[in-house]
Amino acid sequence: MPDELAIDSGALIFATLADVYLSSGMVDEAISILQDGLSRNPTYTLAKIILGRAYYMKGDIKEAIKILEGTYDDAKDSENTNLYLGHCYKKLGEIDKAMKYYETVHKINPENKEAKQEIEALKTEPVKAAEVKVEEVPEPVRVEEVKVGEPTQPMEAAEVKVEEPTQPMEAAEEKVEEPTEFEVPLESLKKPVN
């Protein structure tokens, strides 16, 4: 059945299918269906609102705002349009704009829990509520100076094997005599080789 609905995106049910895809976390698929359906039904406001929500869920906040504000004249009284515009501006750190849209949701439906929570969060902790992206600066890498020739570990950790001498020290200290000259005449060394 979903394949049949996806194929017939000329039917207005494509927005409902896209909404189901969004609920399942299939954001890219929902965007594809909505774009195709809106190419055939460009005035379908509900599909545009769902598309704006899809871009918000994807993290493309600027595209979400562009789409949602583009439908605003036709959907001023839409809880979802106002709620997601509030979310978008909150993500951008534009707290005053976010508050305006959340308060509009609250006027449309005083029972909207999500709008109530957002208003309270923005009133009590405006700095913490802003979801401004701050680039993280990596910690500097510490390179310790190592001098050539110094041990890289403490001496206690180094295992040194000392061998016992194989002969007594007295024997090793014998005096070595200087070599003597040969007493063989050089002529005797020059014999012809056969």
User: What is the residue-averaged pLDDT of the chain?
Assistant: 77
What's residue 176's pLDDT?
A: 52
Question: Domain segments of the chain: what residues?
Answer: 1-64, 76-133
Please state, as a whole number, how many other Cβ atoms lie within 10 Å of the Cβ of residue 67.
Answer: 23
**Residue 77 CB burial class (10 angstroms; 0-12, 13-18, ≥19):** exposed
Residue 75 has pLDDT above 80, yes or no: yes
Which two structure tokens, joined as six digits, stand for 87? 């979310």
Residue 25 has pLDDT above 50, yes or no: yes
Please state, as a whole number, how many other Cβ atoms lie within 10 Å of the Cβ of residue 171.
Answer: 9
What is the amino acid identity at position 188? S
Which two structure tokens, joined as six digits, stand for 102? 């959340």
Give residue 124's pLDDT band: very low, low, confident or very high (50, 70, 90): confident
CATH code reported for the domain at 1-64: 1.25.40
Query: Per-residue pLDDT tens for 81-120?
Result: 999 999 999 999 999 999 999 999 999 999 999 999 999 9
Residue 55 has pLDDT above 60, yes or no: yes
State the Cα–Cα distance between residues 88 and 60, nearest whole angstrom.
Answer: 9
Task: State whether the Cα torsion 83-19-64-34 is positive or negative.
Answer: negative
The angle formed by the CA atoms of residues 181, 184 and 187, to the nearest 5 degrees, is 125
Prediction pTM value: 0.60
